[in-house]
Homo-oligomer: A and B are copies of this chain.
Amino acid sequence: MAVIKPRTLSGFMELLPARQAQFEKIVDTLKRTYSLYGFTPLDTPIIEAAEVLLAKGGGETEKQIYRFSKGDNDLALRFDLTVPLAKYVALNYGQLSFPFRRFQIGKVYRGERAQRGRFREFYQADIDIIGDEKLDIMNEAEIPSIIYKAFTSLGLERFLIRVNNRKILTGFYSMLGEAEKSGDIMRTVDKLDKIGREKVRSLLTDELGLDDSKAGEILDFMSISGKNTEVIAALEKYRGRNEVFDIGVDELKAVTSYLAAFGVPEDHFAVDLTIARGLDYYTGTVYETTMLDHPEVGSICSGGRYDDLAGYYTDKKLPGVGISIGLTRLFFVLEDCGLLNDDILTAPADVILFPMTDDISAAVSTATEWRKRGVRVQLYTENKKFKSKMSYADKCGFPYVAFLGEDEIRAGAVSVKNMNTGEQVTLDASAAAELILGGIAGRADGRIIIG
Contact = CB atoms under 8 A, between A and B. Distances in A.
A219 interface: no
A208 interface: no
Contact of A9 (B40, B41, B49, B348): B49
Given A38-B348, A68-B69, A263-B368, 4 more contacts: A36-B376, A39-B348, A40-B347, A258-B364
Nearest to A31: B24
Given A121-B45, A136-B382, A145-B368, A91 B263 contact: no
Interface residues of A, number: 104
A70 interface: yes
Contacts of A396: 97
Contacts of A421: none
A12 B47 contact: yes
A121 B20 contact: no
Nearest to A129: B378
A332 interface: no
A166 interface: no
Contact of A66 (B70, B136, B375): B70
A213 interface: no
Nearest to A48: B9
A21 B37 contact: no
A418 to B, nearest CB: 18
A310 to B, nearest CB: 8
A361 interface: yes
Contacts of A1: 311-312, 315
A111 interface: yes
A314 interface: yes
A270 interface: no
Given A20-B43, A43-B20, A377-B38, A258 B361 contact: yes
A379 B142 contact: yes
Contact of A97 (B96, B311, B392): B392
Contacts of A4: 51-52, 55, 312-313
Interface stretch (A101-109, A281-289, A335-343, A400-408): A101-109
A360 interface: yes
Given A16-B95, A41-B21, A381 B136 contact: yes
A306 interface: no
Contacts of A348: 35, 38-40, 101
A376 B70 contact: no
A41 B22 CA distance: 10
A376 B99 CA distance: 16
A167 interface: no
A7 interface: yes
A115 interface: no
**Which 10 A/B pairs are nearest by Cβ-Cβ distance?**
A38-B378, A68-B68, A38-B349, A138-B381, A40-B348, A261-B364, A6-B313, A12-B45, A4-B55, A6-B90
